[in-house]
């Protein structure tokens, strides 16, 4: 009996010892897991990526700032911070981008980002500074060239704008918009014949580009090619019969080809579509003068003089119509207006 009691006590003691050992092992494993989890908790940079994916941009900014306090020269992270700030605080994005030094691998990317931000906000001086720095490092970058062209254009530095637009077109001839920009700059420089090749290139790329066809009406009209004007105007009117500008160019072509009655019929249609359009009214007056109706021409134009006080062609036609109608006083008045406008 005594032996059974001793055996039972021994067995209980063994179970308690094994239980304690098991608990100790569990405690050690739990401690190890806790250390691993603590060591693997997300860093501020990882948290930033997570909250950006969730669309929580202000929280992402806070995470990036915490990371950059510890790693102020992590230029990649600063670039990512700028990208987040672009969506909520663009001026601060520029501040962060300008902290990236010229010797950083991310400097060129930062310059491109600065240029884009400034271009979007019409901050042309800063955009030009960034773009010129980019050009120095990447002279064959077509985006840089076309962006410089647009910036110089807005600053009315037309010769420089044209230089960069042509360079962009050379670097990437597949972009119709760049060729269109070249044509537009030639127009600004009154080089109308030079507009034609880039506009034809646009049509090589995009045969149905309506704006290119309409602008060719203008370019051919300015260079005295009525047959080509008629072709382009007819193309436009086939697709949009209510385009008063194409209708006016068709009237101009008819006039230059000596088809006066057709010209008068077309300009009447144009004026039905746009009764207040200045160019239509001027062409109408020219046709009236050609038709020896100076008083009617004068009456049609005179109400426009106050609305367009600095329009040279209007003042010249008014002087001509007034003189032909025997209105010597009015003719002298508008001749003086012509002189005033030319001397501006």
| Structure-derived torsion over alpha carbons of residues 258, 259, 265, 271, reported in degrees to the nearest 10 | -30
pLDDT of residue 37: 35
Q: Among candidates 207, 141, 205, which has minimal Cα distance to 177?
A: 205
**Taking 50 as the threshold, does the pLDDT of residue 214 lie above it?**
yes
CB burial of residue 17 (10 Å; 0-12, 13-18, 19+): exposed
CB burial of residue 83 (10 Å; 0-12, 13-18, 19+): middle
Mean pLDDT of the chain: 88
- CATH class of the structural domain 277-344: mainly alpha
**Taking 70 as the threshold, does the pLDDT of residue 67 lie above it?**
yes
Confidence category of residue 252, pLDDT binned at 50, 70, 90: very high
What Å distances lie between residue 160 and 67, 129, 151, CA to CA? 43, 15, 10
- Residue predicted with more confidence, 259 or 78: 259
Arithmetic mean of pLDDT, 277-302: 95
pLDDT of residue 8: 55
Task: Give the number of other CB atoms < 10 A from CB of residue 257.
Answer: 14
Q: Which CATH number fits domain 219-275: 1.25.40.10, 1.10.3720.10, 1.20.58.110, 3.40.50.300?
A: 1.25.40.10
Confidence category of residue 41, pLDDT binned at 50, 70, 90: low
In sequence order, what DSSP letters do the residues of 2-23 get, joined into one string? HHHHHHHHHHHHHHHHHHHHHH
**What pTM did the predictor assign?**
0.79
Arithmetic mean of pLDDT, 175-180: 97
**Taking 60 as the threshold, does the pLDDT of residue 89 lie above it?**
yes
In sequence order, what DSSP letters do the residues of 241-261 get, joined into one string? TT-HHHHHHHHHHHHHTT-HH
pLDDT of residue 27: 53
Confidence category of residue 25, pLDDT binned at 50, 70, 90: low
pLDDT of residue 79: 87
Ranges 36-45, 90-99, 157-166, 244-253: which has the least confidence: 36-45
pLDDT of residue 265: 96
Where do you find CATH 1.25.40.10 in the chain? 42-138, 219-275, 277-344
The answer as to CATH 1.20.140.10 being correct for domain 42-138 is: no
Query: Residue 172 in contact with residue 145, Cβ under 8 Å?
Result: no
Q: What is the DSSP letter of 302?
A: G
Arithmetic mean of pLDDT, 56-71: 81
pLDDT of residue 61: 81
**Taking 50 as the threshold, does the pLDDT of residue 38 lie above it?**
no
- Which range of 30-34, 84-88, 97-101 scores highest in mean pLDDT? It is 97-101
């Amino acid at each position: 009996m005594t032996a059974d009691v001793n055996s039972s006590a021994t067995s209980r003691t063994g179970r308690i010892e094994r239980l304690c050992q098991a608990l100790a092992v569990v405690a050690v494993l739990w401690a190890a897991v806790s250390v691993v989890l603590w060591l693997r908790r997300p860093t501020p940079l990882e948290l930033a990526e997570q909250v950006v994916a969730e669309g929580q941009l202000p929280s992402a900014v806070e995470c990036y700032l915490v990371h950059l306090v510890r790693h102020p020269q992590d230029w990649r992270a600063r670039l990512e911070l700028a990208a987040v700030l672009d969506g909520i605080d663009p001026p601060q994005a520029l501040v962060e981008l300008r902290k990236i030094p010229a010797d950083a691998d991310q400097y060129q990317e930062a310059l491109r980002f600065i240029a884009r931000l400034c271009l979007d906000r019409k901050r042309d001086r800063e955009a030009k500074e960034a773009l010129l720095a980019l050009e120095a490092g990447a002279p064959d970058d077509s985006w840089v060239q076309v962006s410089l062209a647009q910036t110089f254009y807005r600053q009315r530095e037309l010769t420089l704008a044209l230089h960069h637009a042509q360079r962009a077109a050379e670097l990437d001839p597949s972009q119709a918009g760049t060729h269109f920009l070249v044509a537009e700059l030639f127009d600004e420089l009154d080089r109308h014949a030079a507009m034609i090749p880039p506009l034809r290139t646009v049509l090589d790329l995009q045969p149905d580009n309506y704006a290119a066809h309409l602008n060719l009406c203008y370019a051919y009209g300015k260079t005295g090619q009525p047959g080509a004007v008629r072709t382009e105007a007819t193309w436009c009117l086939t697709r949009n019969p209510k385009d008063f500008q194409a209708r006016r160019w068709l009237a101009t072509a008819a006039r230059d080809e000596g088809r006066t009655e057709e010209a008068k019929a077309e300009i009447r249609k144009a004026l039905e579509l746009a009764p207040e359009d200045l160019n239509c009214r001027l062409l109408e007056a020219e046709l009236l003068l050609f038709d020896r109706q100076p008083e009617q021409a004068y009456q049609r134009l005179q109400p426009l003089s106050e609305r367009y006080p600095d329009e040279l062609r209007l003042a010249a036609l008014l002087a001509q119509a007034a003189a032909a109608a025997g209105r010597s006083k009015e003719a002298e008045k508008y001749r003086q207006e012509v002189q005033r406008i030319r001397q501006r």
